[in-house]
Structure 1
């Protein structure tokens, strides 16, 4: 809630003027455990243009790691052996993860 610092502050006399019924209503609103629930599922009702991929087939050619490549044990990416961190014989770690 935004605060207007230029407005005059309430004094004790002003707070006494608040009606008891108004204070009870505020307390009931603040202490209600009810949560607002959106009845419509937004994810299902939202339709993006060109998003229908039901007829598409994924075809990717997977190439196994070559003899001069290694898989980093931290980021699990395949790197060329020139990217291997020096002094790490027990674990194969790339330079980016070692930094």
Structure 2
């Protein structure tokens, strides 16, 4: 049996269009919950806002200086091993070529 995928689908809600406005608003109020889903352990400090001042935060990252067999790509500014060097004059990595 062939199926026409371009034909509009008919669902049960399409067939029962004679519900009153009062019934629709009553069913809408029943499905909505006034409570906000926030855990009790969540505090205001755990939420990060865009543009928040993070100047007092400290990072726990160990920075290793660039080694002699590495280069910094002039396009993506990432440090790569010299085996990833695609253009030695412009110092561009293989990913950026």
TM-score, structure 2 length as denominator? Answer: 0.41
Higher alpha-carbon Rg? 1
Q: Select the structure that is richer in strand.
A: 2
TM-score, structure 1 length as denominator? Answer: 0.41
Q: Select the structure that is richer in helix.
A: 1
